[in-house]
A and B are shown apart, each in its own frame.
Chain A
Amino acid sequence: MSSRRSSPYAGVPGWVVAVAIVGASFVVLPLVAMITRVNWGEFIPLITSESSVDALWLSLRTSLAATALCVVLGVPMAIVLARTEFWGQKILRSLVLLPLVLPPVVGGIALLYTFGRRGLLGQSFEAFGVTIAFSTTAVVLAQTFVALPFLVLSLEGALRTVGTRYEAVGATLGARPTTVLRRITLPLVLPALISGAVLSFARALGEFGATLTFAGSLQGVTRTLPLEIYLQRETDPDAAVALSLVLVVVAVIVVAIAHQAGERNGVGFGRRRDS
């Protein structure tokens, strides 16, 4: 007889476990397949070639800038969505979260008609001699566009979970709304803010469609890592695989950080009863 760890009875049917294993394999197997094709002998030279380093460096810079922009814009958005009531709020929330489900290339086209040379706002920018489309700024805007909903969504949920009771206590103690926000609300949702920012960073790092459409593919200016991988795949498959592995490693790290922050989320809010 095999020894089993004692655990509460779960009652999961065997066939559910079987399908779950198939599903997990479906996710893991392609990664394994890719790793088997890595040319380990050339790995370091491949990921340190000039175009690779340019792409990696650009990706990190733009993704960090996009994450910062997501935090600056997303925190007020989440607060307004979670804490206020106004006409059309539900519709606004759906629209704000639209980039989650929109094909990124559609987002790219939309951005082009907003910030492009002949775009809605782009024409005005052009008058001041500022061109946004096909610049590094465009990369950051494209990444922010697709990543913003991740931050808003996770933060809004956390704000609703924490509730307004602590904030009400703060107000009756004489704290102005800004003080309440700084000293109570934000510390309480900090874990969700961190995990939301990390998810936004990951989404920005993987951005492809909107970037290509709105920013193009200029080495060192707008050609981020995913674009570089896509281009290399045609000319140098070994380089594409090596860079892909780099992205996989970054993704794993990001997921681990987000998970850690998520674990901390909610801890410490409960009040112990008399002991």
Chain B
Amino acid sequence: MSLSFEAAVRSRGFDVELAVEAGETVAILGPNGAGKSTLLTLIAGLLTPDTGSAQLGERVLFDVPSTGRGRWLPPHRRGVSLLAQDALLFPHLSVLDNVAFGPRSTGMPRAAALARAATWLERVDASHLGARRPAQLSGGQAQRIAVARALASEPALLLLDEPLAALDVSVAPAVRRMLRDVLADRTAIIVTHDVLDAFTLADRVVILEAGRVVDAGATRQVLDRPATPFAAGLASLNLITGTAEREGVRSSAGDLIGVRFERAVAAGARAGAAVRPARVSVWAHEPHALAAAQNVLSGVVTDLEPRGDIVRVRSAELAADVTPGAVAELDLVPGSPVWFSFAADDTVAYAL
């Protein structure tokens, strides 16, 4: 079932409009405090908006006009399941009874509810855990069962609030794969910090910042052509914003950046230029005699971040991936003045 949603919560500076097609999975990305969890609690009915309306299929979830009395459906009548970061399995019920809780609560006879619970446990590869108590499960097992429990109530919409964030890195991939299977053709919204979740699980991403939608679109489109520094950071891209000119992009700082235009952008229009840190070189002195199509920008090192066999050198504007040997050779420390160079051909520009 499709969801249409728009709501404002003044005290949290939240004002978001969102639509999810039937069978579509949308990932919500955004920095801490952007309003991602507020969005989910509003849809689930655990929070009432100041104004707004939402409809899931034919069902009106809430309709709160700015004046006068509105309508508001309590959580248990919405057909919306919420899966949180913690599995939150009921500690006093067995795993099977946990999964059967939803069907039982909506009036299904006990035997039928248990049969459906058993089917869902099988779907998440947890049939052998049915008799256990939640305290006897590992984090990965508990989250699998929480997924089964959420789906056993046959929700019209499934909400997932960072479902993999509390899991050990060794078990997260298996749970992610399981989620990918159960989310196929299901209407769902997943809040995540992890760009891998967005690529694996979502058809579309919506980026929230400070309670507003700042970017939305197909996952690859949004993350390869980021419009905001946050999206660029998620995708590990350098983003330079400015205005398009005939020869390139004039950055906000006034530098003319040579770029490869993906599509023609009208001169004077706002444009972004993205370049991978791996394609950026670092110099201790201003480089000369470079090919003409090289951009050269100066900066001051703010941070050196070891990442496996490379080191990410950051300045306020740019990041570059270099080898540890190069860091030693250039004698880089935070505060070092440096020059960055990158080819116009590696710099993709697009309209914002």
Contacts and interface: CB of A to CB of B under 8 A. Distances in A.
A binds B: yes
Interface of A: 165-166, 168-177, 179-180, 183-184, 187-188, 190, 268-275
Given A170-B101, A172-B75, A271-B142, 12 more contacts: A165-B84, A168-B46, A168-B75, A170-B90, A176-B76, A184-B90, A271-B87, A271-B88, A271-B135, A273-B139, A273-B168, A274-B167
Contact of B153 (A168, A174, A179, A187): A174
B61 to A, nearest CB: 12
A272 B84 contact: no
Contacts of A173: 76, 81, 101-102, 105, 149-150, 153
Contacts of A170: 90, 101, 105
| Interface band, chain B | 35 or more
B105 A268 contact: no
Contacts of B171: 274
B106 interface: yes
B268 interface: no
Given A173-B150, A268-B92, A274 B82 contact: no
A213 B105 CA distance: 49
Contacts of B84: 165, 169
Nearest to B169: A274
B140 A168 contact: no
Contacts of A269: 91
Interface in B122-136: 133-136
B44 interface: yes
A275 B167 CA distance: 11
B107 to A, nearest CB: 9
Nearest to A169: B88
Contacts of B79: 174
A179 B75 CA distance: 13
A274 B138 contact: yes
A217 to B, nearest CB: 45
Contacts of B46: 168, 171-172
Contacts, number: 97
A190 B77 CA distance: 27
B80 A172 contact: yes
Of all A-B residue pairs in the complex, the 6 with the closest CB atoms, nearest first, are A175-B105, A173-B102, A171-B75, A274-B139, A274-B168, A187-B92
Nearest to A273: B139
B251 to A, nearest CB: 45
Interface in B160-191: 166-168, 170-171
A83 B13 CA distance: 26
| A interface: dominant SS | helix
Contact of B82 (A166, A168, A175, A184): A168
B11 to A, nearest CB: 15
Interface in B104-152: 105-106, 133-140, 142, 149-150
A273 B92 CA distance: 18
Contacts of B149: 173
B106 A174 contact: yes
Contact of A175 (B45, B101, B166): B101
Contact of A272 (B92, B101, B139, B167): B139
B86 interface: yes
A129 B97 CA distance: 52
Contacts of B75: 168, 171-172
Contacts of A177: 74, 76
Nearest to A186: B92
A172 B168 contact: no
A241 B265 CA distance: 100
Contacts of B81: 172-173
A190 B92 CA distance: 10
A174 B82 contact: no
A268 B91 contact: yes
Name the residue among B84, B105, B170 with the largest chain A CB count within 10 angstroms.
Answer: B105
28 contacts: A165-B86, A168-B46, A169-B82, A169-B90, A172-B44, A172-B46, A172-B150, A173-B76, A173-B101, A173-B105, A174-B76, A174-B102, A175-B76, A188-B92, A190-B92, A268-B91, A268-B92, A268-B133, A271-B135, A271-B142, A272-B136, A272-B138, A273-B166, A273-B168, A274-B138, A274-B167, A274-B170, A274-B171
Nearest to B87: A271
A271 B95 CA distance: 13
B135 A272 contact: yes
A133 to B, nearest CB: 44
A270 B87 CA distance: 11
Contact of A271 (B76, B106, B134): B134
Interface in B229-245: none
B105 A188 contact: no
B74 A171 contact: yes
A261 to B, nearest CB: 15
Given A165-B88, A168-B46, A187-B92, A274 B140 contact: yes
Contacts of B88: 165-166, 169, 271
A273 B170 CA distance: 13
Interface string B45-73: 11000000000000000000000000000
B105 A176 contact: yes
A268 B89 CA distance: 11
A120 B70 CA distance: 42
Contacts of B82: 168-169, 172
A210 B82 CA distance: 51
Contacts of A183: 101, 105
Nearest to B101: A173
Given A173-B102, A179-B105, A271 B86 contact: yes
A165 B91 CA distance: 12
